[in-house]
């Protein structure tokens, strides 16, 4: 998970083979990964549902453009380009981690 070259700048100090900073940061990252895995396992169905919802919005986008809507609604009656970017990034995360079939083909 952690590239061996990332340790190169850090030397051993006391109890830490690569220094407190390196060991602290990498330990925090790894505990975050464990936490995310537990969340995913606990709510895998919910995450798949959210991924499917995102895919549906992006698949229907062309129909919306045909009707004069440049972006899907972010909030009732409001659409923001930045929200579309966040949704597209989230959908790519779905493809990579949960459901490869979430990819929207053009």
Q: Do the Cβ atoms of 85 and 37 come closer than 8 Å? A: no
What pLDDT, on the 0 to 100 scale, is given for residue 72? 73
Q: How is the chain split into domains, by residue range?
A: 15-100
Does the pTM surpass 0.75? The reply is: no
Q: What angle do CA 5, 6, 7 make, to 5 degrees?
A: 90
**Given phi > 0 = left and psi -120 to 50 = alpha, else beta, which region is 47?**
alpha
Per-residue pLDDT of the chain (106 residues; tens, 9 = 90+): 577 888 888 887 888 888 888 888 888 888 888 888 888 788 878 888 888 888 888 777 665 555 556 677 777 777 778 888 888 888 888 888 776 776 766 5
């Amino acid at each position: 998970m952690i590239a061996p070259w990332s340790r190169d700048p850090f030397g051993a100090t006391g109890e830490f083979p690569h220094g407190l900073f390196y060991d602290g940061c990498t330990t925090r990252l790894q505990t975050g990964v464990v936490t995310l895995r537990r969340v995913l396992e606990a709510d895998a169905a919910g995450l798949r549902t959210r991924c499917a919802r995102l895919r549906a919005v992006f698949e229907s986008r062309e129909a919306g453009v045909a009707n004069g809507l440049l972006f899907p609604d972010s909030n009732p009656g409001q659409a923001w380009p930045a929200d579309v970017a966040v949704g597209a990034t989230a959908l790519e995360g779905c493809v990579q981690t949960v459901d490869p079939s979430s990819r929207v083909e053009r």
